[in-house]
Amino acid sequence: MKCPLCRFENPEGARICINCDTPLPHAEKAAAVEGEAETKRETLTELTPGRTFANRYQVLEEIGQGELGRVYKVLDYKTGEQIALKLISPEIASDPPTMERFQSELRLARKIRHKNVCGMHDIGEFEGTHFVTMDYIAGQELRTTIHMMGTLSISTVIGVGKQLCEGLAEAHSLGVIHRDLNSRNILIDKSGNAKITDFGLARSTKDVGRTGLNILIGTPEYMSPEQAEAQEIDYRSDIFALGVILYEMATGRVPYEGDTALAVSIKHKGPIPKNPKKFNPNISEGLSDIILKCLEKDKVKRYQNAIEIREELEKVEKAPPAVAPIEPQRKPVAARKAAPKLDLKKLGIPALIGAALVIAAVIVIPGVVHRKPAAAAAISQKRSVAVLPFDDVSSAKDCEFLARGIPETLIHKLSNIRNLRIPAGTSSFALEGKPVDVSQIGVELGADNLVQGSVQVSGDRLRMTVRLLNVQTGRPIWSDKFDRRMSDIFAVQDDIVQKIVRALKVKVSDEEKNAIVTKSTKEVKAYTLYLQGRLSLSKRGEEDLKKAIAFFESAVNEDPMYGLACAGIAESYFDLASRGLMPSNQCYPKALESASQAVLVDETLADAHAWLGAVKFYFEYNLVSAEMELLRAIELNPAYAPAHSFLAFILISTGRRDQAISEMELARDLDPLSARINANVGLMYINARRYDQAIDILKKTTEKFSEEQNAAKYLGTAYFFKSMYEQAAEIFQKSGCQSDLGITYVKMGRTTEAQKIIKELVEESRKELISSYEVAKLYFSTGEVDQGFNWLNRAYAERGPSIYMMKVDPFLDSIRTDPRYQELLKRMNLE
């Protein structure tokens, strides 16, 4: 019996297709069903996950929509590999000349085998449905990254630019041009590699005149002047598009913008683009010249091949860095319109007047909205709920891990609802045990509503009382009691979340409803071990963190697919390193392994992506990949404060100071009672050289969080750079910041005391962990530059927790022109 859907030949008498599980009709109905299926196959425009297509490809998930149609990640049964499959829309597939051209161009595209080009496989047809297969790349569109970040670091611009040059050079050497190169068809994979996609729409430079005007010939914002005028094009049009992409990465905008495609086209043919330095002063003259030469109106004046551009980018990369990069002062980009596509062939407009008329007629598709620096404003408009730690009312007082862990789980679930603002657990739990009333808690956390509760376990029974309070009135909006088996803990938590949402009358999408009830594990034992790990991790001491790791590892032993437990291991090792409790180069590899495992078992976990991004930044110095992971974490959970905090450090370390401040302030808004994040806001202002504001922020932070040592250290630093040395020295002495105290003594002329501190630190380093970076700074302040670089290189080898700030740290201003400093910046991908 032939399956009416996938056409697989099943044994006689079979009732279900053994290939795709489709019910098989009775013999007398087979012909009718097959006829209906044939009609459906002729109009097939989408596939469902789990289905087998063309007797070869198992559909795993839809990953996007391209100009040709929907794109899917599929498993190729024949090769055992995951690839991408793009359906070709019926409108295009029904045009035989177009399909003939696609087949011809695919033969050309398949020649390109390069690490920076997405490989094209084949064009096929199954039961009236045409499709194209290609490499599957797990990554993010370059345009998405730009729209989220505004501007990319100069090192990223150059690094991605060089990779694009290599991919284009390979294609051009084989006689293939892209014709539609733009930031949407460039993917950045998880290792930070740029991949050019959609070469299947290219045509041979040796095939001039055969196809005439082509369908989908380009994207107006990236089209060369000759392309906009519907003239014959060559590889130099790709050079122009590359210039637009470089401009876009460096400034956050394309050189020519307009409300319509016609306006964009006219600008491409008319005025020269504004110098990108106008929008980003960090751009060097050399990089600016490269970009503008790519954008020459006359293709003869452009670079004549991609290799030339790559060589020029390398020269800029090796040039000495600017002494004090300045953050570009640019207004947030509003919602942009995605560039429309042009179909000159179907419109049949003469080349002489075609460009202007055709571009005026195209449809504008909504694009991606830039993530504004003032995102905190949007947060304040949401309904807000703070979930407080529950009371442990068990007789033995042995349920603290549940009293904290269940509220943390509720926070995690409620954070999936975009119309709710949920303060981070760090802040909610900071008020535990403090004598504060409901209204004061609401003010502290910026919350309109509070969730309180109690928990106890008796035998196999889990008993909880939960209530939702209105902060303003102090009265319950909803309350309930639960007496269930411990094995029902997941169902109880889902029930609580759903009742809170209903009580608040918050609109919830279907996707958010699914996220609320999604479980990271189904194993109760694994879950309780995880909660005990979270409790130990929250205490942050060395032994506590080691206990947390043991609990998380036990949870993973119970359930190897428990992504949150894997992320917990990564977070614990990261904390051991960042707090100076264990050597960084011992902790970070383990953190990297666990974070990678967390992403592998559950790609939808914001926690996993955030910790993977953090480790890639601090340990691997892989800024591009780290930034991608953090942006993915924020996309999955915009309320996850650690992701914003880590992203702020990447931004400040690469000189994007205003963006860094905005990102850290957003982290603070999400986690207002986190002492560390509040201190880090002050640090961002220090490294932006805005010392008065830093002092104001850090004075309030030290008053509110007297136990936070970093806040005191940063306040002393701000006083130091305001030349308030007495105040700085007093703070450094009280807080035990010996290296900073030594640097201050140098400024005060107390060199003997500074030398004594150096001697003590060097001696101490032989016995226990101290920051090599801090010692390096002290040596630089005394003028012992060679010794300073010895310790700075030691900090690099140790992956010390502070060296990533060396590009913007004002303590290092005296060595910025030293070639050793510049070389180290390059090794860390900071330049």
Higher pLDDT, 100 or 742: 742
Q: Are residues 156 and 263 in the same domain?
A: yes
Question: For residue 520, what pLDDT is reported?
Answer: 87
Asked if residue 651 belongs to a domain, the reply is no
| The pair of three-digit structure tokens given for residue 190, joined into one six-digit string | 């998880």
Q: Are residues 260 and 351 in the same domain?
A: yes
Kindly report the CATH number assigned to the domain that includes residue 66: 3.30.200.20
Of 343, 366, 389, which residue constitutes the final position of a domain? 366
Q: Is pLDDT at 320 greater than 70 in this prediction?
A: no
Q: Are residues 489 and 560 in the same domain?
A: no
With bands split at pLDDT 50, 70 and 90, how would you rate the model's confidence at 4? low
Q: Are residues 392 and 416 in the same domain?
A: yes
Asked if residue 653 belongs to a domain, the reply is no
Q: Are residues 229 and 262 in the same domain?
A: yes
Asked if residue 628 belongs to a domain, the reply is no
Question: For residue 5, what pLDDT is reported?
Answer: 59
Question: Roughly what angle, to the nearest 10 degrees, separates helices 751-765 and 772-781?
Answer: 160
115-148: pLDDT as tens digits: 999 988 888 888 888 898 999 988 788 988 887 7
With bands split at pLDDT 50, 70 and 90, how would you rate the model's confidence at 215? very low
Asked if residue 420 belongs to a domain, the reply is yes
> Which of 317-331, 334-348, 547-561, 715-729 has the lowest average pLDDT?
334-348
Of 105, 135, 165, which residue constitutes the final position of a domain? 135
Q: Tell me the average pLDDT across 801-826.
A: 91
Of 348, 366, 384, which residue constitutes the final position of a domain? 366
Range of the domain at 353: 139-366
222-263: pLDDT as tens digits: 888 888 777 888 899 999 999 999 999 999 989 887 666 666
Q: Are residues 535 and 511 in the same domain?
A: no
Higher pLDDT, 216 or 680: 680
Q: Are residues 170 and 293 in the same domain?
A: yes
**Count of domains observed in the chain:** 6
Residue with tokens 């996609």: 197
With bands split at pLDDT 50, 70 and 90, how would you rate the model's confidence at 10? confident
Question: For residue 158, what pLDDT is reported?
Answer: 92
Distance CA(424)–CA(387), nearest Å, equals 9
How much of the chain, in percent, has pLDDT values that exceed 90?
A: 49
Q: DSSP characters for 568-617?
A: HHHHHHHHHHHTTSS-HHHHHHHHHHHHHHHHHH-TT-HHHHHHHHHHHH
Kindly report the CATH number assigned to the domain that includes residue 556: 1.25.40.10
Q: Are residues 503 and 433 in the same domain?
A: yes
Question: Roughly what angle, to the nearest 10 degrees, separates helices 675-687 and 641-653?
Answer: 20
Q: Are residues 201 and 319 in the same domain?
A: yes
Asked if residue 623 belongs to a domain, the reply is no
Asked if residue 681 belongs to a domain, the reply is no
Distance CA(218)–CA(20), nearest Å, equals 39
Q: Is pLDDT at 30 greater than 50 in this prediction?
A: no
Question: For residue 31, what pLDDT is reported?
Answer: 46
- What amino acid is encoded at 814 in this protein? S
Asked if residue 584 belongs to a domain, the reply is yes
Which long-range contacts (C-beta less than 8 Å, at least 24 apart) are formed by 226-232?
226/299, 227/179, 228/265, 228/268, 228/269, 228/355, 228/359, 229/269, 229/351, 229/355, 230/344, 230/351, 230/354, 230/355, 230/358, 231/351, 232/208
Distance CA(71)–CA(85), nearest Å, equals 6
628-650: pLDDT as tens digits: 899 989 988 888 999 999 999 99
Q: DSSP characters for 167-221?
A: HHHHHHHTTEE-S---GGGEEEETTS-EEE--GGG-EETT-TTTS-S-BT---GG
Question: For residue 566, what pLDDT is reported?
Answer: 95
Q: Is pLDDT at 193 greater than 60 in this prediction?
A: yes
353-407: pLDDT as tens digits: 333 323 333 322 222 223 444 444 444 456 889 999 999 998 888 899 999 999 9
Q: Are residues 483 and 408 in the same domain?
A: yes
Question: For residue 26, what pLDDT is reported?
Answer: 53
Q: Are residues 317 and 293 in the same domain?
A: yes
Note whether 470 and 448 are within 8 A (CB): yes
Q: DSSP characters for 266-315?
A: HHHHSSPPPPGGGT-TTS-HHHHHHHHHHT-SSGGGS-SSHHHHHHHHHH
| The pair of three-digit structure tokens given for residue 594, joined into one six-digit string | 């666990």
Kindly report the CATH number assigned to the domain that includes residue 261: 1.10.510.10
Q: Which of 577, 583, 582 is nearest to 617 (CA)?
A: 577
Asked if residue 673 belongs to a domain, the reply is no
Question: For residue 357, what pLDDT is reported?
Answer: 29
The burial of 712, by beta-carbon neighbours within 10 Å (0-12 exposed, 13-18 middle, 19 or more buried), is given as buried
Question: For residue 21, what pLDDT is reported?
Answer: 60
- What amino acid is encoded at 236 in this protein? R
Q: CB atoms < 10 A from the CB of 822, how many?
A: 16
558-570: pLDDT as tens digits: 999 999 999 999 9
Q: Are residues 3 and 123 in the same domain?
A: no
Q: Tell me the average pLDDT across 333-351.
A: 38
Question: For residue 372, what pLDDT is reported?
Answer: 40
Q: DSSP characters for 226-281?
A: HHHTT----HHHHHHHHHHHHHHHHHSS-S---SSHHHHHHHHHSSPPPPGGGT-T
